[in-house]
Chains A and B, each alone.
Chain A
Amino acid sequence: KNEVEQSPQNLTAQEGEFITINCSYSVGISALHWLQQHPGGGIVSLFMLSSGKKKHGRLIATINIQEKHSSLHITASHPRDSAVYICAANSGGGADGLTFGKGTHLIIQP
C-alpha cells in the first residue's frame, strides 16, 4: 500500500508570495494527482502527471519519479488560492482508486 506524505500540513502566507507544497510517496506510481478542496468540500482536479512538469496559469506541478516526490507551486499567490491542497497517488493502472495525502491547509492573507 502506498504511503503518501504531504508537507507542510498548514501554511499561512502573504498575498503575492511564492508557495511550495511537497508530496512524497513510498511506492512507484502510474500517476500523481494534485487536487484542491474548498471549505464547502467540493474537489477540483488541478493536475495529473506521471513525469516532468505541468503548468496551468499560476500553478506549476513537478514530479521526480526516481525520488518519488512531487511539488505544487503557486506563483503570485492570492487570497482566493486559500484552500486545502491534496496530492493523491495512482499506484495501479489508470483506472485505479487513489491514495490521498492528508492535505495542506493554505491560507493567503491580503
Chain B
Amino acid sequence: GAVVSQHPSRVICKSGTSVKIECRSLDFQATTMFWYRQFPKQSLMLMATSNEGSKATYEQGVEKDKFLINHASLTLSTLTVTSAHPEDSSFYICSAWDSYQYFGPGTRLLVL
C-alpha cells in the first residue's frame, strides 16, 4: 500500500529556534497533503491543507506565519515551526491524499 514518511521522527530544540518537518509520499503523488497536531490526551486537530504549487489553507486559530508550509512537489510537503516555544511541543502528523488519506508516522517535537 501507499507509504508516507516523516522526518525527523523526534526532535528536541531550544526555545526560539526553528524546526522543519518533512512529509513525503514514497510511492505515489499527492496533490494534497494535510498537517495535523495532537496534544497529549487530546484528539488530532487539522492545522492546514497543503496543495502542491499553491499556498496552504490554514484552519482557524493556526498562525500561518508561525507554521510555514511548503508543498513544492507532488511528493514532498514541509512544515516549519518558526521561533518555537514550549507550547508548540506536540505530536505533528501529516497525511497525503490519493483517493484515500495515508498517514505518516508522526514527529514528536519537544521545545525546551
Contacts and interface: CB of A to CB of B under 8 A. Distances in A.
Given A97-B46, A100-B44, A102-B43, A35 B99 contact: no
B45 interface: yes
A97 B34 contact: yes
Interface in B40-60: 42-46, 49, 59
Contacts of A86: 43-44
Contacts, number: 48
A52 interface: no
Interface in B63-112: 91, 93, 97, 99-103, 105-106, 108
A95 B30 CA distance: 10
Nearest to B92: A41
A45 B49 contact: no
Q: How many A residues touch the partner, as a band?
A: 20 to 34
Contacts of A33: 101
A86 B43 CA distance: 8
B97 A103 contact: no
A103 B97 CA distance: 22
Contacts of A35: 103
Contacts of A43: 93, 103, 105-106
Interface of A: 33, 35, 41-45, 48, 86, 88, 94-103
4 pairs of A and B residues whose beta carbons are closest in the complex: A97-B46, A42-B105, A43-B103, A100-B43
9 contacts: A33-B101, A43-B103, A44-B103, A45-B101, A45-B103, A94-B97, A95-B31, A98-B44, A98-B101
Given A45-B103, A102-B43, 15 more contacts: A33-B101, A41-B106, A43-B93, A44-B103, A48-B100, A94-B97, A95-B32, A96-B49, A97-B34, A97-B49, A98-B34, A98-B101, A100-B43, A100-B44, A101-B43
